[in-house]
Every structure is written in structure tokens, then in C-alpha cells.
Amino acid sequence: MKQAIKDKSSGNRSFFSFVLYFLKNRILYPFCKPSEGKLQRLQEKIAYRFKEIRLLKMALKHRSYTHASGEQAVESNERLEFLGDAVLGLVVGEYLYQRFPHRREGELSQLKSHLVSKAILSEKAAEIGLDGYLFLSGPEVLSNRHGRASIITDAFEALIGAIYLDGGLDAARRFLRRQLLSASGNFTLPREHPNFKSMLLEYSQAKGKGSPHYVLKAQEGPDHQKLFTVEVFILKEKLGRGKGHSKKEAEQAAAREALEKLGILRRDQRHEKEDLEDFSE
């Protein structure tokens, strides 16, 4: 008898738990589901029309929606996000490799990390209002009203993956040119303080001429305001002369003059900033 009461009580708890779950997810926190018309407008915004609209829907489908609607977890956008992240890395890496043929690997990696960062992707997703097209359910609907960066950026990467599957790499590349890379004039590669000594060393060793040799020729002025003069030689040939308020500063100035003399650096490149430009079509 006691066991029967216990089983009945357990069954009641399960039933009430189901009712509470239903009320919470279907009434208190209803589905957020974009209409077909909204999906059409999104395609116009991103200038890409899907051949398979299911891929677009999947890219916008947060796991909270698939969980509440009873769909399989693999129908959420997480797998597309994984794929989109890989495509994003490839396209941005290709862009930087072609745009900056003389940049070293470390510099390219640093800039790539910036371009694919959550902050930048969230900004680009917000520009197309991606948060207004997401499939969400439960508390995520309310918490996403002002846009949750992680949900939005994940959807942006999933959208890249969906475009790749629907239209191929060229389609994904065109999308990223428009949405991410064409607007990258705001991202600059600062060259306010380039390391001229490193540049000269790299050149000299590449030519099989060993390392540049720096000679302090003079130091003038009071201790608190010294002015140093340094000359730089490669294989006993004087290539540059520089002044500075420290030996390091004077050596940098001498190396810069040597690079100009060798034709590696133009005078108008001393403090240049290179803007990122779009790929040529």
C-alpha cells in the first residue's frame, strides 16, 4: 500500500514537473521564431539567397530552441558554427596572405586573431541585426533581447558555414568580403615604431653578409639630455648614420637610413599605416 502511494506520488511529481516545464517554455517563455518573410529580408541584407533554406534556418537555431521543440540536438547551429569557424579562418588567412606579401607570420597571426575575435564578429553580426532572426526558446528569449554576444557570434559563424555548404567556398568568401573584410579599413596595421634594426639584420643575413655592426661616433650635451650619433656598417661599408637621445634610438635611426639607402624602405614609409583593403574581384 505504501509502495503504491509512493509510486503515485512520484508519478504526480513527474506530471507536475512536465506541466511546469510546458508552462515555462511554451507560455511564460514562448518560442522566438522568425517568419518566412523575415528570413527573406535577412537574405536580402546579406546579399545571398539560399538554395536550401533549411541551412539558413539551422544556422539561426540556438540549442534552446531544438531542446524545447523536441528536435534532435544536431539540428541546432552548433555543428555549422564549428564548420563556419574553419571557413572563417581559411578566408581571413588567405586575405591577409595575399594583401600583405611582405608581412611576417607573427604579424599576420596577430591581425588574424583580431579579425576573427568575438568582439569583431559580434559587431559585424549586430550590423546586420542577426539577433532579430534567431530561433530561441525559454529564458534565452528574454536574455537575448539586448543581444547576447556569445549567441550572436556563434550564429554568425554558423551562417558562414551554412553559406559554404549551400554555395561553396566562393560564396562564403564573397560574404566575408562584404560583411567583414570590406569594412576593415578601420583596422590598421600600425607602423609607428617599426624595428628598423631587425629589418636590416634580416636583410643582411638573407644576403649572406652577416650582421650589421653599429659604432658609436659621438655623444654630446648634458647628462640629462645626451645626443648620441651612431653609424652602421655591413661588411665594413657604412650604410647609415643616425642620432637619438639614447644609443638604441640612434641605432634605429642609422638602420632606417641604411634601409632607405638600400631601397628597402622609402622615406614616405617611415611612419605609414597600411589600411586593409578588399580583395580585387
- Give catalytic residues, as residue numbers: 85, 157
DSSP conformation class of 235 = T
Q: How far apart are CA 35 and CA 132, in angstroms?
A: 11
Q: Can you tell me whether residue 234 is helix, strand or coil? A: strand
What's the maximum distance between 2 C-alpha atoms anywhere in the chain? 105
Tell me the β-bridge partners of 135. 61
Residue 24: other Cβ atoms inside 10 A:
13
The DSSP element (H or E) to which 275 belongs, if any, is strand 273-275
Q: Can you tell me whether residue 242 is helix, strand or coil? A: strand
- Report the C-alpha dihedral over residues 267, 268, 271, 277, rounded to 10 degrees: -140
Q: How far apart are CA 130 and CA 69, in angstroms?
A: 21
213: phi then psi, degrees, rounded to nearest 5: -120, 125
Contacts of 174 (CB under 8 A, 6+ apart): 48
Tell me the β-bridge partners of 233. 213, 238
Residue 50 and residue 162 in contact, taking contact as beta carbons nearer than 8 Å: yes
Of 149, 175, 148, nearest to 84 by C-alpha is: 175
